[in-house]
Amino acid sequence: MKFKAIAVMTAATALSLGLAVPALAAPNSAKAAPQVTGSRLASALLPSSAFGSGFTTLNRHNSGSSLHSTQVLVRPSNVSCVNFATYTYLIGYGNTAGALDSFLNSNPDFTTYPDVITGADQRVIQFASAGAAQTFYNRAYARYKQCSAFNEPAPAFQTHLELTTQSLSSTTIGGHKAFQLIQHADYASLARFSLYEVTAVVLAGTNVYTVDDVNGTNDPVSASLIGRLISRVQALYKH
């Protein structure tokens, strides 16, 4: 079962979170790097089988068949830790497109604990320039660093979840700038099991990639897995 709630950022969502939503500005195509739409990004996401046997797609979203404004509706620093962890934003960060899949392990075998993965997410958000992608990446890192311990709802178990950062480390994945986050996930109703939310964020060109999963071993996200995702998406720009 996937533990992390998924939602898509829209202007309406921004308003519900109490965030200012200025008028949209048209994308500056004269300075933009090659771009594809959210529906095209979605076509390059990894299949559920890449995350493990028995995984199925729980949520699938993309930003649609057109590019979006580069107007920034929300910054990570303006979002509470709970909402930053809970909501998945596909537009609103000043990005032109985005896509995500959320996966469910429909029958996790806890008899093999701690070698169990209960669910996973993959996301790519595309910016009009490498500089804009770098700015978002830096802001995301800073927000993860600030959100070192907090509680959030866990409706799947009719309980709450406490996330506590164990490590946040800068690295490279496939030659790209990246960071790996490991959080202890303490579920009030699952005291007998220690679970971990592990997240990898990679900056590659004009895109920022995020892959996370919930597992029992605190192993970081596989570099080869996220490398495959990056390769599939980058291939879209060759045509």
Domain ranges of the chain: 11-238
Could you please state the CATH topology (level 3) that the domain comprising 11-238 is classified under.
Protein Transport Mog1p; Chain A (3.40.1000)
Q: Please state, for a pLDDT cut of 70, what percent of the chain lies above it.
A: 80
Gap between the Cα atoms of 23 and 14, Å rounded = 13
Q: How many CB atoms lie within 10 A of CB 23?
A: 6
Distances (CA, A) of 34 to 204, 213, 232: 13, 30, 16
- pTM listed for this prediction: 0.86
Among 33-37, 48-52, 60-64, 152-156, the least confident range = 152-156
If we measure between CA atoms, which residue out of 218, 211, 195 comes closest to residue 1?
A: 195
How confident is the model at residue 85, as a pLDDT? 79
Q: Comparing 111 with 229, which gets the higher pLDDT?
A: 229
What angle (nearest 5°) sits at the alpha carbon of residue 10, between those of residues 36 and 2?
85
Among 90-99, 156-165, 207-216, 226-235, the least confident range = 156-165
Is the per-residue pLDDT at 153 higher than 70?
Answer: no
